[in-house]
């Protein structure tokens, strides 16, 4: 009886934010196996696209077609993800003289990004993660000039 009472008490007292699971990322459309795919996980608009304020950074070897990465023990919450095919492994997105990306990129929710639209805002790429194991697909985009 005490065990049942303890279990009920714990379920009431533990907040839902304590729920954490694995978020598997499938990054599709990687052009080739040159360099690496780098990415960042952000928790709010104020930190979005500032790598120094990212919740988590990751880097995996590039592979033509698809690369995978798993964010382990991620608490439930709202997040946004950006990725870049860092072909020269310099740790950043290379851009031309106009500021347009020269390397592949992608975002959670796969918003359409063109030279004229510019990068999306947090509100366009944010998604709610429920703390359960989940898979998210991100499509790599390469701009044509």
pLDDT value, residue 17: 46
Burial environment of residue 10 by CB neighbours within 10 A (0 to 12, 13 to 18, 19 or more): exposed
pLDDT value, residue 115: 84
Partnered with residue 21 across adjacent β-strands are 74
DSSP β-ladder status, 20-30 and 134-139:
parallel
Burial environment of residue 56 by CB neighbours within 10 A (0 to 12, 13 to 18, 19 or more): middle
Rounded CA gap, 23 and 71, in Å?
5
Q: For 81-99, write each residue's pLDDT tens digit.
A: 999 999 999 999 999 998 9
Q: For 20-57, write each residue's pLDDT tens digit.
A: 999 999 999 999 999 999 999 999 999 999 999 999 99
Domain 19-139 fold: Immunoglobulin-like (2.60.40)
Dihedral angle over CA of 49, 51, 57, 61, nearest 10? 90
Q: What is the domain partition of the chain in residue ranges? A: 19-139
Rounded CA gap, 109 and 111, in Å?
6
pLDDT value, residue 5: 47
| 143: pLDDT strictly greater than 60 | yes
pLDDT tier at 118 (50, 70, 90 boundaries)? confident
Chain mean pLDDT for the chain: 90
Between residues 59 and 1, the one the model is more confident about: 59
């Amino acid at each position: 009886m005490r065990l049942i009472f303890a279990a009920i008490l714990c379920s009431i007292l533990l907040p839902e934010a304590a729920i954490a699971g694995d978020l598997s990322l499938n990054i599709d459309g990687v052009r080739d196996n040159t360099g690496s795919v780098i990415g960042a996980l952000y928790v709010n608009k104020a930190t979005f696209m500032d790598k120094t304020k990212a919740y988590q950074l990751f880097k995996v070897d590039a592979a033509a077609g698809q690369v995978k990465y798993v964010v382990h023990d991620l608490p439930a919450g709202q997040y946004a993800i950006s990725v870049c095919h860092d072909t020269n492994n310099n740790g950043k997105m290379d851009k031309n003289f106009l500021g347009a990306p020269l390397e592949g990129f992608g975002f959670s929710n796969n918003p359409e990004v063109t030279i004229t639209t510019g990068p999306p805002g947090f509100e366009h790429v944010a998604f709610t993660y429920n703390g359960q194991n989940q898979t998210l697909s991100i499509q790599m985009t390469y701009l044509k000039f």
